[in-house]
Structure 1
Amino acid sequence: MQQILTYAFLVIYTVTILGIVLVIITDNRNPLKTLPWIIVLVFAPVVGLVFYFFFGQNLSKQRIISRRTRKRITMQLEEALDDGRPDIPDEHLPLARLLAATIHSVPLYGSRITPYTDGKSKMEALLAEIARAKHHIHIQYYIFCDDTTGCRLRDALVAKARQGVEVRILYDDVGCSGVKKSFFEGMRREGIEAFAFLHVKFPLFTSKVNYRNHRKIAVIDGCVGFIGGMNIADRYVRGTEWGSWRDTHFRIEGSGAAGLQASFLSDWSATTKRHIAGAEYYPAAERLTDDILQIVPSGPFGKWRALLQADSYAVSNARKRIWIQTPYYLPSDVLNSALQVAALAGIDVRLMLPARSDSKVVDLASHSYLDDMMKAGVKILFYKPGFLHSKLLIIDDSLTVIGSANMDFRSFEHNFEVNAFVYDREFTARMAGVFEDDASRCHALTPGEWFNRPRPRRWAESLMRVFSPLL
């Protein structure tokens, strides 16, 4: 009897593994993502089965934010823009149309954008805007720690809530998994509405733990917004034990804040099932500059990967330069090839990475892509003073992409992200200056030193690259 049960278990188990492999294949995913899962399931079936349940299921056909909700919020945003649609420069018109088609992104005119390149100045600017809030404060972060920095923000929000200002918070349940429950419960007792996005009710039995809301958005009175790479934690202000934390964040004043508002309210509706509307959330915006921008939220649900498609299109159509800052470089094959082709065509392609990141495994996988990049003529820069966490893409003289998305599989495929595509020569020149200033603190990698690195290191890089779609 025991032998029959053993055989029955083996048959059921084998059929289950083969069934999952068949599901993965018939999903018609990118082969770069399909192959690692098949390898894991075949050679380590027990571990593979557990990891697939948590991290591998394809939920792209589901919709956490309904089309109806998204359309309703987009219509409200468009109604608030009484200055009509801006004229997109001809060189960027196809990209703008692509973003409108994939994510219904509305072109917004006349915003003033202020960059912050360190956590202290960004935090002080955010707290100053919060202190001036009159009607509402909307906060959304992947990480909202209960350390000194987080408590400063909490106290500022509580003070405004006591004054009658509406305060709403969205935080990622995985990103804030180490935060004490009492931290958010204390804010709720003060009248602050705080919710976890994609709340992980049963961590041992959920398939959505892999889908994280990586957005960093703050909107104050619908007039001023913040977007970028900095979360709320001490390390973003004070740095790490082994160096400074170099990051980039942006204050957007004007109509661009309305775009951030629409993104926040979409996530709020999806999380709380409550729709917030009213003219007070989209006040009339003054024209402060001549720039045009599009706020582009992207996520794992739905057919299109808006940020991946837009970045790939922009890179493929560059004519002069492509300058990139990213903490992790784990690109799709399309984007990686586009960068190499651009470099081979004589375009100035520069990739700035941290000399040391917060993940050795991701470092190894990222470095596996650098051989072909260098052979194609891409200039590789390693930032030395500390951890480079900045996300920046500069194309030619008049397009800059800023926001929360890293240039890796997770940001493009699994995370909820938000970037701004800014069409403006003056702003692009300013951010190019920031890039060049950072470059002065970098080590420019040479082919000689790179191709002579130890062979065991190369083997480790190649091994980690196989699993890069899963990192």
Structure 2
Amino acid sequence: MAISLNIFSLVAVPLVYAVGVVLALVAISQERSSQGAVAWAVALVAMPFLSVPLFIIFGGWRFSGYVKKFRTQLAKTPINQDLLPNTLRLSRTELGAMQVIEKLARFPFTRGNETDLLIDAEEAYAAIFQSIERSKRSILMQFYIINDDDVGREFARHLITAAQRGVQVRLLYDEIGCNRTPEAYFSRLRSAGISVSPFGSATRMGKRFQINFRNHRKIAVFDTQIGFTGGLNIGDEYLGKSKGQRTWRDTCLRFTGPTVKAAQFSFLEDWHWATGEHFELDWSIPTIQDDAKTALFLATGPADKDDTFKLFVVQAINAAQDSIWIATPYFVPDEEVITALHLAVMRGVEVRLLVPETSDHWIVGLAVHAWIDRALSNGAKVDRYKPGFMHQKVMLIDDRFSYVGSGNMDNRSFCLNFEAGLLVLDKEFAQKIKSMLERDFERSEPMAAGHLAGRPLLFRLTVNLARLASPLL
């Protein structure tokens, strides 16, 4: 036994350390952010027995193959030509050069859109189920999480009924988000004639244990004319029915107009990646109303050349002249975003952050404390939402520019997840967003600067350790 242990220590231990060094070099060469690269490199060299298996599962492998499929799909789709007549050319001075965001999105801002703000799950689910009932030709839907609970089964019943009356239904889900959903749930949908597929980020890259890249988008398109996006998944927790949990506060958008075609295209490229299937859809744009809203559909992800969602956030913050209001369940930004917020405060912009009182992920919740402390010390105002878990992802700039979508203020949304949301450049709609957030702030508690100073030393050390892990969360 002693000899066996000696052989293990002489061979296996150096081998694990050597693997840690090799993977540290891989992390340095492949991680998009310097913070992430440093965090992984230090952990892999200093603690290889723990970090090597974690890197195999969560490490920053490149998401390959998706871009090539996207270009193939784009060549077959007339969306760019159809959208061009409806673009609204924005001036270089308007809200900090919005043409930068157009380049990030790969699609332009378009006029002729209508948007309906759906506050909380009751309103959102009712609108989505009604749209399923009224659909006549096609339904495209994707969610990060679809639970096999009361809400999930009602969702399935509506889809099955639509398929039975001849509607072509396609449903895309993320297998990491749906890891607790039994396969029997999706089998029932397939048996009813519904096309169902996992996104495949954990299995189609030849890395079965790699679960870093996730499709976090929430998109629904009905009859190629009506779109939905936001932060809601399909589950009882959003209605407060999940055992031991309070209601999740979230926000969703229903929209029509040219932006629906961009949302439709985003689904199409995801579906093509997951299944290899190309199918025909209607790309024509309905008659444009002159008084309709200007909007842009923004789909981002790790297949992009740049960290598109983070660049959008930084650009929006830098463009602000009067106010920035951000509601996010996970405020775990990086130095670039926290610096942009600090500079906004210094130039006289009101910065308000709305976060949940408690997090649904304990280590993320600890890291949030550290970043909130930074934001408060920089002059931002931070409020903690108290009635339930706040899961909405909303941004309001200068009471004119709004974002509602799936993207969080964390490294996962910035660099690793596929995200989607709608940007609306309209004062009337921005006022609705502002009124909604004002009601949320009324149900929240402001946090004071230096809130960590009075906490126990062990808690503060734990918070700072969690902050160091922020690029990995």
CA offset at residue 29 of structure 1? 3.9
Match of 2:447 among 436, 445, 448: 445
Q: Which of the numbers 22, 27, 50 marks the counterpart of 2:25?
A: 22
Amino acid in the other structure paired with 1:349 = V
8 Å contact 2:31–2:60 — kept in the other structure? Answer: no
What pairs with 1:281-320 in structure 2 (closer than 5 Å)?
282=284, 284-287=286-289, 289-320=291-322
- Give the SS at the match of 1:51: helix
State the alpha-carbon separation in 1 of the partners of residues 68 and 434 from structure 2.
36
1:84-122 CA distances to partner (integer Å, 9 max, x unpaired)?
322325444765432333341232222111111211111
- Whether 1:43 and 2:46 are equivalent positions in the alignment is yes
Q: 1:285 to 1:47 in 2, by over 3 A?
A: farther
What is the Cα deviation at residue 458 of structure 1?
1.4
Aligned residue runs from structure 1 range 71-82, under 5 A: 71-72=74-75, 75-81=77-83
| Residue 419 (structure 2) aligns with | 417
Decide whether aligned partners of structure 1 residues 205 and 89 sit closer, same or farther in structure 2, where only a CA change above 3 A counts: closer
Change (3 A) 1:228 1:469: same
Deviation at 1:63, TM superposition (A): 3.2
Amino acid of the structure 1 residue aligned with 2:110: L
Residues 54-65 of structure 1 aligned to structure 2 (within 5 Å): 54-60=57-63, 63=66
| Structure 2 letter corresponding to 1:125 | A
User: Does 1:217 find its partner at 2:219?
Assistant: yes
Q: Does 1:157 align with 2:163?
A: no
Change over 3 Å in CA distance of 1:383–1:65 after alignment to 2: farther
Structure 1 residue 270, shift from structure 2 partner: 1.0
Q: Which one of 334, 337, 348 corresponds to residue 336 of structure 2?
A: 334
Rounded Cα–Cα distance in structure 1 between residues aligned with 2:264 and 2:238: 24
- CA RMSD, Structure 1 to Structure 2 (Å): 2.4
CA contact (8 A) 1:229 1:404 kept: yes
- 1:137-174, Cα deviation, whole Å (9 max, x unpaired): 11100001111111111111111111111000000011
Decide whether aligned partners of structure 1 residues 167 and 285 sit closer, same or farther in structure 2, where only a CA change above 3 A counts: farther
The DSSP-based 3-state class of the residue aligned with 1:369 is helix
Distance 1:285 1:320, change over 3 A: same
Structure-1 separation of matches of 2:72 and 2:94: 28
* Deviation (angstroms), 1:210: 1.2
Tell me the secondary structure at the aligned position of residue 321 of structure 2: coil
Amino acid at match of 1:234: D
Whichever residue aligns with residue 406 of structure 2, its letter is S
| Contact kept? 1:324, 1:352, Cα under 8 Å | yes
- In 2, are the aligned partners of 1:111 and 1:256 still within 8 Å (CA)? yes
* TM score, norm. by length of structure 2: 0.93
Question: Is the counterpart of residue 66 in structure 1 residue 69 in structure 2?
Answer: yes
Per the alignment, residue 123 of structure 1 pairs with 125
Deviation at 1:285?
A: 5.0
Residue 88 of structure 1 is matched in structure 2 by 90
- Distance in 2 (CA, whole Å) between partners of 1:355 and 1:239 is 19
- 29 and 118 in structure 1: CA distance in 2 versus 1, 3 angstrom threshold: closer
Q: Report the residue type matching 2:429 in the other structure.
A: F
Within-5 A mapping of 1:240-259 = 241-259=244-262
Q: CA deviation at 1:257?
A: 1.6
Return the offset for 1:256.
Answer: 2.1
Gap change, CA 1:290 and 1:204, over 3 Å in 2 = closer
Q: Distance in 1 between matches of 2:311 and 2:206?
A: 34
SS of alignment partner, residue 439 of structure 2? helix
CA distance in 1, matches of 2:288, 2:472: 44
Which residue is equivalent to 2:265?
Answer: 262
Contact 2:132 2:158 in 1 (8 A): yes
Instruction: Determine the C-alpha separation between the residues in 2 that align with 1:307 and 1:271.
Output: 22
3-state SS of paired residue (1:66): helix
Could you say which residue in structure 1 is the equivalent of 2:106? 104
Q: Counterpart of 2:310 in 1: which secondary structure?
A: helix
Contact 1:384 1:441 (8 Å CA) reproduced: yes
User: Secondary structure of 1:453's partner?
Assistant: coil
For 2:86, what is the secondary structure of its paired residue? Answer: coil
Alignment match, 2:393? 391
Identity of aligned residues (%): 30
Q: Retained in 2: the 8 A contact 1:239–1:245?
A: no
**Which residue is equivalent to 1:343?**
345
2:364 to 362, 382, 402: 362
Indicate how the Cα distance of structure 1 residues 432 and 89 shifts in structure 2: closer, same or farther if over 3 A, else same: farther
Relative to structure 1, the CA distance from residue 18 to residue 448 in structure 2 (aligned partners, 3 Å threshold; closer, same or farther) is: closer
8 Å Cα contact 1:80/1:283 also seen in 2 = yes
C-alpha contact (below 8 Å) 1:351/1:378 kept by paired residues: yes
Structure 2 stretches of 5 or more lacking a match? none
Unaligned 5+ residue runs, structure 1?
Answer: none
CA contact (8 A) 2:226 2:256 kept: yes
Q: Which moved more, 1:191-200 or 1:451-460?
A: 451-460
**Deviation, structure 1 residue 205:** 5.4
Aligned residue pairs total: 469
**Stretch moving more, 314-323 or 449-458:** 449-458
Q: Does 1:176 align with 2:175?
A: no
- 1:193-239 per-residue CA deviation (whole Å, 9 max, x = no partner) reads 00000164599952541111000011000111110000000111235
How far 1:278 sits from its partner (Å)? Answer: 3.7
Amino acid at match of 2:220: A
Q: Provide TM-score, normalisation by structure 1.
A: 0.93
Tell me the distance in 1 between the aligned counterparts of 2:204 and 2:264.
31
Which residue identity lines up with residue 402 of structure 1 in the other structure?
V
